[in-house]
């Protein structure tokens, strides 16, 4: 592992991710894809988040995993693109579910198209809002179908064995999607239920929301490199386990940043999880540790969509005082340490070093 990563300097990793993101964006914005989606509002919605400047960590991990096992990363490009677009449809739908106004510092798809309906069609607010949600749902649907098409291109255009691509498609359909939807459903159901939940239940929900797709990204990259989608191959199992744990750590850090991050860097309001009543590891431990008066204060604001900035900040201060932010940070560090143990099964290489840096970056990132 590089000393620079241990020192918090992730410039090597970030450049590696950025270079792969450039390849990905060039691939996804080919004219043949731009022509595919009509009418213009659907096309704009489909490409909105693709062009908005996200981190593209999942596809980068798929490519790095491929290279770490001796594969040609360029051969993994369609699979990486499929993972990115698959992830994107979940974001578009998630923003509707969470009623979020912004993502990456820009209006969410449903908010943007509500505005466009009002401006372009002159529709009343209720109809415009409904139109925005409709476009978001349809765009997410077509993005999911596009992700399958991109996956098939790994065989049709890039020569991956058909049985490998079919198995990856089967895994995405029969394992990843049901688990991800389960995690999202639990996230909604758990809102305001922190008093009745256990830490393992919350961690399980976080993994299903995030870890399952990271695990698939690592496994898919390994399958392209090995020309074999057998998940029980030692190298594939090591990469998948590493990515799975890193995905859980990523979500814990995401929840931490949602409380203490910089709003300009995050591209979304800090404290929105509190207003939405989200059950996170932080709120779970806070309610567990709080005295009666502190618990009442937290519960009064948790899930209060109209809570004032001062009320939200008061809860954040309580989370600090109760040590729950530090607790969540320690849990994410422990998870990454466990993840790094799985990489020991892989030969030393530049890509393995980048994966190690990525794991550390996940828990030190600020956005």
3-state class of 106 per DSSP?
A: strand
Section 337-356 average pLDDT:
96
- Give the pLDDT of residue 6: 59
For the chain, how many residues are written? Answer: 367
| Confidence class for position 250, pLDDT limits 50, 70, 90 | very high
- Give the pLDDT of residue 229: 96
Six-digit token pair at 220?
Answer: 């898919």
- Give the pLDDT of residue 197: 92
| Confidence class for position 362, pLDDT limits 50, 70, 90 | very high
Does residue 65 contact residue 243 with C-beta atoms inside 8 Å?
yes
Does pTM top 0.85 for this prediction?
A: yes
Section 283-300 average pLDDT:
95
| Confidence class for position 130, pLDDT limits 50, 70, 90 | very high
5 vs 162, residue with greater confidence: 162
- Give the pLDDT of residue 5: 56
| pLDDT exceeds cutoff 90 at 323 | yes
Does residue 280 contact residue 260 with C-beta atoms inside 8 Å?
no
Section 206-214 average pLDDT:
96
- 3 vs 312: CA distance, rounded Å: 38
Does residue 199 contact residue 281 with C-beta atoms inside 8 Å?
yes
Q: Give Cα separations from 259 to 164, 274, 313, 320 (angstroms).
A: 41, 8, 9, 10
- Arithmetic mean of pLDDT over the chain: 94
| Confidence class for position 269, pLDDT limits 50, 70, 90 | confident
- 212 vs 235: CA distance, rounded Å: 18
- Give the pLDDT of residue 117: 98
| Confidence class for position 3, pLDDT limits 50, 70, 90 | low
Q: Domains (ranges, CATH) in the chain?
A: 3-364 (1.10.600.10)
| Confidence class for position 302, pLDDT limits 50, 70, 90 | very high
The percentage of residues in the chain with a pLDDT greater than 90, rounded to a whole number, is 87
| pLDDT exceeds cutoff 90 at 321 | yes
- Give the pLDDT of residue 260: 85
Tens of pLDDT, residue by residue over 97-109, are 999 999 988 999 9
């Amino acid at each position: 592992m590089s000393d620079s990563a241990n020192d918090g300097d992730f410039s090597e990793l970030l450049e590696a991710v950025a270079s792969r993101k450039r390849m990905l964006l060039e691939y996804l914005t080919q004219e043949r894809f731009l022509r595919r989606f009509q009418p213009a509002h659907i096309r704009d919605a489909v490409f909105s988040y693709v062009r908005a400047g996200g981190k593209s960590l999942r596809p980068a991990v798929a490519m790095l995993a491929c290279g770490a096992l001796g594969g040609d990363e360029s051969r993994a490009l369609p699979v990486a693109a499929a993972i990115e677009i698959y992830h994107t449809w979940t974001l578009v739908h998630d923003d509707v579910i969470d009623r979020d106004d912004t993502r990456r510092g820009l209006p969410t798809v449903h908010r943007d198209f509500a505005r466009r309906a009002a401006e372009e069609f002159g529709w009343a607010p209720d109809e415009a809002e409904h139109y925005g949600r409709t476009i978001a749902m349809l765009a997410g649907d077509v993005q999911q179908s596009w992700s399958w098409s991109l996956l098939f291109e790994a065989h049709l255009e890039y020569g991956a064995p058909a049985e490998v691509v079919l198995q990856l498609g089967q895994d995405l359909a029969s394992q990843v999607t049901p688990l991800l939807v389960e995690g999202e459903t639990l996230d909604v159901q758990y809102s305001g239920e922190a008093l009745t939940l256990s830490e393992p239940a919350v961690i399980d929900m976080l993994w299903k929301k995030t870890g399952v797709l990271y695990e698939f990204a690592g496994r898919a990259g390994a399958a392209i490199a090995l020309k074999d989608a057998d998940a029980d191959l030692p190298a594939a199992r090591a990469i998948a386990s590493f990515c799975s744990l890193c995905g859980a750590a990523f979500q814990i850090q995401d929840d931490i940043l949602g409380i203490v991050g910089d709003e300009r860097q995050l591209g979304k309001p800090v404290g929105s999880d509190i207003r939405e009543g989200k059950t996170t590891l932080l709120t779970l431990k806070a309610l567990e540790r709080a005295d009666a008066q502190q618990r009442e204060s937290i519960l009064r604001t948790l899930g209060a969509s109209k809570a004032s900035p001062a009320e939200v900040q008061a809860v954040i201060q309580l989370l600090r005082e109760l040590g729950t932010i530090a607790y969540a940070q320690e849990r994410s560090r422990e998870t990454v340490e466990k993840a790094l143990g799985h990489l020991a099964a892989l030969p030393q290489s530049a890509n393995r070093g980048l994966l190690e840096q990525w794991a550390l970056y996940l828990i030190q990132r600020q956005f």
